[in-house]
Amino acid sequence: MKIKGFIWNMILGGFLGFLWIIFSERVVDIANSFQSPWLLGGLIIVIGTLLFGEVYQRAVNHQGSGHLRFKHLPASLSFGLVVVIYFLISP
């Protein structure tokens, strides 16, 4: 794998991680305004995360393969790193 593709996948994974954080924070804010936030908010987060997973798979170009390839490892690691760091740092 070329270094350019490696760096591109890292940037793309980090950006998608940041977008997922924005999505989940917004859904939590909206769900807290309803009478039963656990039911509706949980349902929206689960459905949204599943849809976001499909976008993520297409963005890192899995092309329907069932196994993880080395070129997709940087995107997955940077996505996870962004999410973990955010939730460890945010109050």
- Cβ neighbourhood burial of 15 (10 Å; 0-12, 13-18, 19+): middle
Task: Give the model confidence (pLDDT) of 2-57 as tens digits.
Answer: 777 778 888 888 998 999 899 888 888 888 887 777 888 888 888 988 988 888 87
Q: What is residue 62's predicted lDDT score, i.e. its pLDDT?
A: 52
Number of domains in the chain: 1
pLDDT-based confidence at residue 69 (cuts at 50, 70, 90)? low
Separation between Cα atoms, residue 3 and residue 6, nearest integer Å: 5
In the predicted structure, residue 64 carries a pLDDT above the cut 60: no
User: Which domain covers residue 53, as residue numbers?
Assistant: 3-89
**Residue 17 · residue 82 · CB < 8 Å:** yes
Q: Which residue shows structure tokens 């924070």?
A: 25
- For the residues of 71-90, what is the DSSP string, one character each? GGHHHHHHHHHHHHHHHHH-
**19-23, 60-64, 79-83: range with lowest mean pLDDT:** 60-64
